[in-house]
Amino acid sequence: MSELELPRNLVEGAIRYGDDQHRAWMNALPSVIAEIARRRDLDLGAPYQPGGFTSWVAPARTHDGLDVVVKFGRLDTEAAHEYHALRLWDGNGAVRLYDVEEFEGTIFLAIERCVPGRALNELEESEQDEVLTALLSRLWIEPPPRHRLRSLQQMCDEWANGFDRMIAAGRSALDPGLEREGMALLRTLPSTADRNTLLCTDLHAGNVLSAQREPWLVIDPKPYVGDPTFDAVQHILNCPDRLHRDPVGLVARIAGLLDLDPLRLRLWLFARCVQESPRWPGMADAAVHVAPR
């Protein structure tokens, strides 16, 4: 395993964003993968390319002939939380979790392999809307009392603080009044939800794959607990043409499919567009169009 193939995005992420700890983890990764594969008698394939920025993911076969996907991520990143959600969903709308281990700063997961594995984003967006919202409705379950999942409030506070630092560094893309309004909503919306559920938070059509056990299954959740309305926003952000052409109509469609309050979904969308505006071209214009009137 000394010649372990690394996904291109994993290498690029280490170069562009990695610190000393990340580079140390990358240097140790081949031996960690080799040790876990040896102890579990896994036959590993080449990693998926270009892959993700924070984990090594590849097809594999277990000692008893089960085809799986294995994932090796940094223990101090979002990968450390994924398995908690997969256990709670237990295959209901998401891939099944077969195995998990924490080892020398790495979190190892063995999960269900989706076959044929076609991504939902290959379909027309109107079809994506229906499939993705049906899955979300199933995934929004009440977490157990003593869960280990992070709160949506925590993530939104971190995002808002990061936004404030970017603005202070001169990366503003919006009117200051809209920026203040957007960050105020980002900080307060989580605490005003009428219910809190298990969330995917990064559920878009690229993270939904065709499978045999069910027509479509969710992969790669980044779970939190909080307002389910928040979870509908990522798909909207990943439909930029419709977002810029008719944002209010798109909000109404997604809210209707999920039986959500369209005004609350619009407020969440506005907050997210403001938050993404310094680094995502087009989000400033979207924020202006969906701003509360």
Amino acid 90: pLDDT? 97
Strand-pair partners of 209:
119, 217
Confidence grade of residue 143 (pLDDT, cut at 50, 70, 90): very high
- Residues 104-133 have a mean pLDDT of 97
- The answer on pLDDT for 244 being more than 70 is yes
Only one residue has tokens 């579990």, namely: 40
The CA distance from 223 to 83, in Å, is 9
Q: In the numeric block, which tokens belong to residue 235?
A: 């798909």
Confidence grade of residue 115 (pLDDT, cut at 50, 70, 90): very high
Q: In the numeric block, which tokens belong to residue 11?
A: 């290498």
Contacts of 289 (CB under 8 A, 6+ apart): 244, 247, 248
Contacts of 94 (CB under 8 A, 6+ apart): 85, 86, 135, 139, 217, 218, 219, 221
- Residues 177-187 have a mean pLDDT of 98
The CA distance from 189 to 226, in Å, is 10
Residues 120, 131 contacting (CB under 8 angstroms): yes
Residue type, 276: E
Window from 15-19, 125-129, 242-246 with minimum mean pLDDT: 15-19
Amino acid 1: pLDDT? 41
- Residues 93-107 have a mean pLDDT of 95
- Residues 173-193 have a mean pLDDT of 97
Write out pLDDT tens, residues 66-89.
999 999 999 877 778 999 999 999
For the annotated catalytic residues, the residue numbers are 202
* % of residues, the chain, pLDDT over 70: 99
Beta carbons within 10 angstroms of residue 35's beta carbon: 15
- Residues 3-9 have a mean pLDDT of 88
The CA distance from 269 to 290, in Å, is 7
The residue among 162, 175, 157 whose CA lies nearest residue 276 is 162
55-61, strands of its sheet edge to edge: 43-44, 55-61, 67-74, 106-112, 97-103
Average pLDDT, the chain: 94
Instruction: Give the pTM.
Output: 0.94
- The answer on pLDDT for 30 being more than 70 is yes
- The answer on pLDDT for 106 being more than 50 is yes
Amino acid 36: pLDDT? 96
- Residues 100-108 have a mean pLDDT of 94
Confidence grade of residue 31 (pLDDT, cut at 50, 70, 90): very high
The CA distance from 145 to 148, in Å, is 9
Amino acid 16: pLDDT? 81
Amino acid 151: pLDDT? 96
